[in-house]
Amino acid sequence: MKKYWKIIVVLIITVITVGTYYIRSSFASRTVPEFEVKKISGDEKELQDLVIHGDYNVNDILYSFKILNGKTMNINYDSIISEIVELPSQFEKIMKEHKNFLRQKVLNPGNFYEDKAWLAYAEYEIENTFSGMTNKNEFLIEVLDKKTNETVAFEVAIPDGENYYTININDVQLLNGKVKVLTNNFSEDSSEEAHLYVFDLKEKKLIRDDVILKNSEGVENGNWTSFSINNDSLSLKPSEYALFLLQRVQEEMNENTKEVEEKILASECYVYNFEKEVLEKINHEELGMVEAASLHNSTVFLQNQIDNRLEVVPYDIETGTWREKILFNVPQTSENTDNDDLHAEPFITVLNGKIYIINAIDDGYSLFIGDLSTGQSLYEGKIVAKHKKINQYNDKTYFKLIEPKS
Amino acid sequence: MNRYLKLVNFEFNRFFKLYIVLVIVTIIMQFFAVILESRGYMREAKNVIYGDMMSKADFIKNYEAFTMQRVVQSNWFYWSIALCVVVLLIYVFFIWYRDWLGKNSFIYRLLMLPTARLNLYFAKATAILIFVFGLVALQLLLFLIEMQIMKWIVPAEFRVDLPIKEYTDFNYLSVILPGSLIDFLLFYGMGIVAVCVTFTAILFERCYRLKGIIFGISYGLVSVGFFLMPLLIDTFVLNYYFFPVELFVMEVIAGIIVLIGAVWIGNYLLKYKIRV
């Protein structure tokens, strides 16, 4: 034994050190605090199956976290295995039932459509040769009949494809044997178009290419038009409408904070009906500017912040009528506060007819869930950080997405 | 088994002196890094706070609080690790070639030992692994001491103390200390495969000399090619047919096959083809 002492010492030190390092670090010795939602009033059920995504930032390092059912989810951030296994939650069920359909596809919810009988997929493919010639510029359409397990797949060249340098697929719908693909087409001259491509499944070809909306105004002295299609892109489920929001935005330097701020100069809102293939403009002039808009079933919600209040105005597409506006208290970003934590903008999301507002308060974040059809508060709570390891001004928390766990 | 352990111990002791030197140099370089960075930061803080009349809070806001991150990213720290990596890489070759050096080549005696020659191969591989893991452990221990040194130099209000994990996650250190135990096993498992493939390539050279260099290199390329085959076929032939999980499993299996191949060929060469 005596002969071996050196090697034994090295081995013991190694096993103990490396072992402790990995065993201890698997027991939550992370920097990310555990967030917890504490109820103030309302129904605890509102938090069920609700995922709140956020980032936690210390010095230069950014960590992502998820809060599920009001508690920080225990995700293993560290292992590459989790990255390999990770799947967008919308696809978990499909992966089990129709695994082969998902092969060779971009698992992006916008590219998929799912109902009880069908699964549809659209992809934009562009391939350039080394000399810069385009040798492939087409749509790939694939539809699965869930009952017979038969797939129909075809490729169609994009009409005038050379005019666009990229195409973004926003939504896919399947209606009466026709696949309807809603896209954003970007041209070289920075103009942007919304298209609806209609494909016939039986004949396996493109039967229509409609330009729904065009935004040709470019950027001039910090002033541009933003163009967004807002139709619950996270969901694969059928939707009747798509929502378009055009905003003329002016970039301005705030003298007090020395930060660039965006000011909305003009806004236009449109609703597109997938079945009738018609575009309808929502006349909201008397409401003033629209900061954000969202769609739930056949109701559009227009948002606008006025001082410390958030105005939400519901518009019923089917009847073409406005409903009564709903007001929420959302303290606005104070411009001259010293506390960086409080500087964060409120995070507002509308989801399934409910509004979610997260706002920085002195000792954490407030979470408000409101029903948009009645304007009533469904839940009020506070997001607090437990086991916070760093008590410095160097850490910041941002919330970025709220979605239902599917 | 006993023979194998004796051989491991033998290989270990042969490199031990140099290993200790390597450890001491690493310690010196890393302490140097901590002291240099910490004092540099404090000097800057003093200059700005007293020179430009800035408050402590403003200084920290503008210049960021001090963390071990600065130390880890400094040159001295980086080179200390690079040095260890390079020395061990060289030793992967030297652990074989030293036996052929000198007038009475030592390999003659080793090969005459009344034990399977494959034990020699395993003993050398094990010794390399012990050296590597020893240095990994050293790094972890050094982190603890270095954090203490940093705390002596930089007062608490200028610091953000994060667990070691945070420094190993986001830069070159994540290669040495992967995030989780599974990753650790995967990374170093791959390392073991690489060491064995290199050993077998060396044995090719030792068996066939000049011609063996070509054999060795071709063997190495074939091994790498075989290991990457699932990925290459999926990308270029099947057009991304497999899901990441499936590819991962195939890669693990490919790695195990390459390892078995390396040991099997190494065994054959040692048994029948080796030249003294």
Q: For residue B234, what pLDDT is reported? A: 95
Set of chain B residues whose Cβ sits within 8 Å of the Cβ of A61: 69, 166, 169-170
Q: Is the dihedral of CA A289, A294, A298, A299 positive or negative?
A: negative
A70 has which bridge partners? none
Q: For residue A25, what pLDDT is reported? A: 65
**Which stretches of A201-253 are assigned E, i.e. beta strand?**
205-215, 223-229, 241-253
What stretch of H or E contains A90? none
How many C-beta atoms lie closer than 10 Å to residue B28's C-beta?
Answer: 12
CB A35 within 8 A of CB A383: yes
Residues 35-74 of A with CB under 8 A from B: 58-61
- Measured in residues, chain A has a length of 406
Task: Note whether B183 contacts A81, CB cutoff 8 Å.
Answer: yes
Amino acid code (one letter) for A165: Y
Mean pLDDT in chain A? 83
Over range A144-167, report the average pLDDT.
90
Task: Note whether B134 contacts A13, CB cutoff 8 Å.
Answer: yes
Instruction: Tokens for A74, please give them.
Output: 């225990």
Q: For residue A341, what pLDDT is reported? A: 45
Set of chain B residues whose Cβ sits within 8 Å of the Cβ of A18: 133, 136-137, 140, 184
Q: CB contact, 8 Å: B250 with chain A?
A: no
Main-chain phi, psi angles of A57, to 5 degrees: -125, 120
Instruction: Tokens for A396, please give them.
Output: 């910041």
Amino acid code (one letter) for A177: G
How many Å apart are CA A103 and CA B256, to the nearest integer? 26
* Alpha-carbon distance A93 to nearest alpha carbon in chain B (angstroms): 15
DSSP-derived pairing of the beta strands A278-282 and A347-351: unpaired
Q: For residue A74, what pLDDT is reported? A: 61
Instruction: Tokens for B19, please give them.
Output: 């290993």
Task: Note whether A31 contacts B13, CB cutoff 8 Å.
Answer: no
Task: Choose among A10, A79, A389: nearest Cβ to B134.
Answer: A10
Task: Note whether B136 contacts A14, CB cutoff 8 Å.
Answer: yes
Q: CB contact, 8 Å: B215 with chain A?
A: no
Q: How far is CA A181 from CA A70, A103, A141, in A?
A: 36, 20, 10
pLDDT in tens, B151-209: 999 998 888 887 787 788 767 888 899 888 889 999 999 999 999 999 999 999 999 99
Question: Which residues in B32-48 are b (16+ Cβ under 10 Å) and which e?
Answer: ebbbebbeebeeebeeb
DSSP-derived pairing of the beta strands A61-68 and A118-128: unpaired
DSSP-derived pairing of the beta strands A309-316 and A61-68: unpaired
Q: CB contact, 8 Å: B184 with chain A?
A: yes
* Alpha-carbon distance B183 to nearest alpha carbon in chain A (angstroms): 6
For B166, counting Cβ atoms within 10 Å of its Cβ (0-12 exposed, 13-18 middle, 19+ buried), the class is: buried
Task: Note whether B186 contacts A59, CB cutoff 8 Å.
Answer: no
Q: CB contact, 8 Å: A392 with chain B?
A: yes
CB B110 within 8 A of CB B99: yes
Instruction: Tokens for A310, please give them.
Output: 């958030």
For the cut 90, the answer to whether the pLDDT of residue A142 exceeds it is yes
CB A383 within 8 A of CB A367: yes
Domains of chain B, by residue range, sit at 1-174, 178-276
Nearest CA in chain B to A26: B180
Q: For residue A335, what pLDDT is reported? A: 46
Instruction: Tokens for B116, please give them.
Output: 């399977």
Q: CB contact, 8 Å: B115 with chain A?
A: no
pLDDT more than 90, % of chain A: 26
* Alpha-carbon distance B220 to nearest alpha carbon in chain A (angstroms): 26
Helix (H, G, I), strand (E, B) or coil at A117: coil
Q: CB contact, 8 Å: A338 with chain B?
A: no
How many C-beta atoms lie closer than 10 Å to residue A297's C-beta?
Answer: 14
Set of chain A residues whose Cβ sits within 8 Å of the Cβ of B243: 102-103
Set of chain A residues whose Cβ sits within 8 Å of the Cβ of B244: 83-85
How many Å apart are CA A333 and CA A204, to the nearest integer? 53
| Plot region of A270 (φ>0 → left; ψ -120 to 50 → alpha; else → beta) | beta
- Per-run averaged pLDDT (10 residues), chain B, 276 residues: 90 95 97 96 92 84 84 94 97 94 82 91 97 96 94 90 77 86 93 98 96 97 97 93 94 98 97 89
Task: Note whether B186 contacts A17, CB cutoff 8 Å.
Answer: no
Q: CB contact, 8 Å: A339 with chain B?
A: no
Over range A382-399, report the average pLDDT.
72
Count interface pairs A-B at CB distance under 8 A: 113
Nearest CA in chain A to B57: A393
Task: Note whether A79 contacts B134, CB cutoff 8 Å.
Answer: no
Q: Looking at per-residue confidence, does B54 or A362 come out higher?
A: B54
Amino acid code (one letter) for B207: C
Task: Note whether B165 contacts A25, CB cutoff 8 Å.
Answer: yes
Over range A260-285, report the average pLDDT.
86
Instruction: Tokens for A216, please give them.
Output: 């040709």
Over range A268-282, report the average pLDDT.
91
How many Å apart are CA B200 and CA B93, to the nearest integer? 11
Write the secondary structure of B197-254 as one string of H (helix), E (strand) and C (coil). Answer: HHHHHHHHHHHHHHHHHHHHHHHHHHHHHHHHHHHHHHHHHCCCCCCHHHHHHHHHHH
Torsion (CA) A301, A304, A310, A316 in degrees, nearest 10: -20
pLDDT in tens, A19-44: 998 887 655 456 677 888 989 888 88
Main-chain phi, psi angles of A292, to 5 degrees: -155, 155
Q: Looking at per-residue confidence, does A20 or A190 come out higher?
A: A20
For the cut 80, the answer to whether the pLDDT of residue A220 exceeds it is no
Domains of chain A, by residue range, sit at 32-86+283-406
* Alpha-carbon distance B40 to nearest alpha carbon in chain A (angstroms): 19
* Alpha-carbon distance B238 to nearest alpha carbon in chain A (angstroms): 9
Task: Note whether A10 contacts B69, CB cutoff 8 Å.
Answer: no
* Alpha-carbon distance A237 to nearest alpha carbon in chain B (angstroms): 24
Over range A148-167, report the average pLDDT.
90
Q: Looking at per-residue confidence, does A247 or B268 come out higher?
A: B268
Q: For residue A199, what pLDDT is reported? A: 96
For testing the chain B interface, which of A9, A13, A21, A83 should be mutated: the one with the most B CBs within 10 Å?
Answer: A21
Set of chain B residues whose Cβ sits within 8 Å of the Cβ of A25: 163, 165, 180
How many Å apart are CA A330 and CA B29, to the nearest integer? 54
* Alpha-carbon distance A165 to nearest alpha carbon in chain B (angstroms): 23
Q: For residue A59, what pLDDT is reported? A: 66
* Alpha-carbon distance B182 to nearest alpha carbon in chain A (angstroms): 7
* Alpha-carbon distance A55 to nearest alpha carbon in chain B (angstroms): 15
Distance of CA A222 to the CA centre of its chain: 26
How many Å apart are CA A360 and CA A348, to the nearest integer? 12
Q: For residue A77, what pLDDT is reported? A: 58
pLDDT band at A60 (very low <50, low <70, confident <90, very high): low
Task: Choose among B5, B178, B245: nearest Cβ to A84.
Answer: B245
Task: Note whether B160 contacts A60, CB cutoff 8 Å.
Answer: no
A37 has which bridge partners? A383
